[in-house]
Amino acid sequence: MSNLVVVVFDDMEEASKVRDALRQQQKSGNLSLDDSAVVVKDTDGKVHVKNELDRGVKIGGVGGGLLGLLIGGLFFPVAGLLMGALGGMAVGASADLGIQKKFVGEVSDALKDGTSAIFFVVRDANPEAAFAALRPYQGQVYHTSLSSEAEETLRRVLKDRS
C-alpha cells in the first residue's frame, strides 16, 4: 500500500525545507519515499513543479506516475493531456485509482498565489516517520491511501502507455 501526502504551506520556500527533512529521514532509513515533488505557485499565479527526488534514488513508476497524474490534473488539465506517457488515460483513470475528487479539490483550493506544496508518496510503511519530519513546520496536511489494487491499476495504465 502507498500513501500520498500533500502539505501546503503559506509561503513559497517552506516546501523545499520539508523536502530536505524528508531526505534526511530517508537517508537514516526511517522512511521509504517512492517520489516527491515541490510545487510553488508564485505571486503571479504561475505554477512551478520540481521533481525533487535524488537521481541516485530508484524511483518507482507508481510513485512518479501518481505524482504526475495528480499534479497534472490539479494545475495543467489541458496540457496534462498532451504531456507524454500518461496522457488523458491516466487523468481519466484517477477516480479508479482511489484519488477522490474531494481530495484533489481540497489540495487545488489550498494552493493560492505565493504558496508552496510538497507532494510525496510513502510506500509500504506507516507514514508516521513522514509526519514526524513534518511536525516542526506549519502547513496543511492532506493524506490519502492507495490500495494494492489501485497501485496495480496504475501500473497497468503506465505499462499500456509506454
Low-confidence ranges of the chain (pLDDT < 70): 1, 52-101, 103, 124-127, 144, 146-162
pLDDT at 57: 41
Domain ranges of the chain: 2-161
Cα 14 to Cα 11, 111, 115, 132, distances in angstroms = 6, 13, 9, 16
pLDDT digit string (tens) for 125-145? 556 777 777 888 888 887 767
The CA distance from 96 to 85, in Å, is: 18
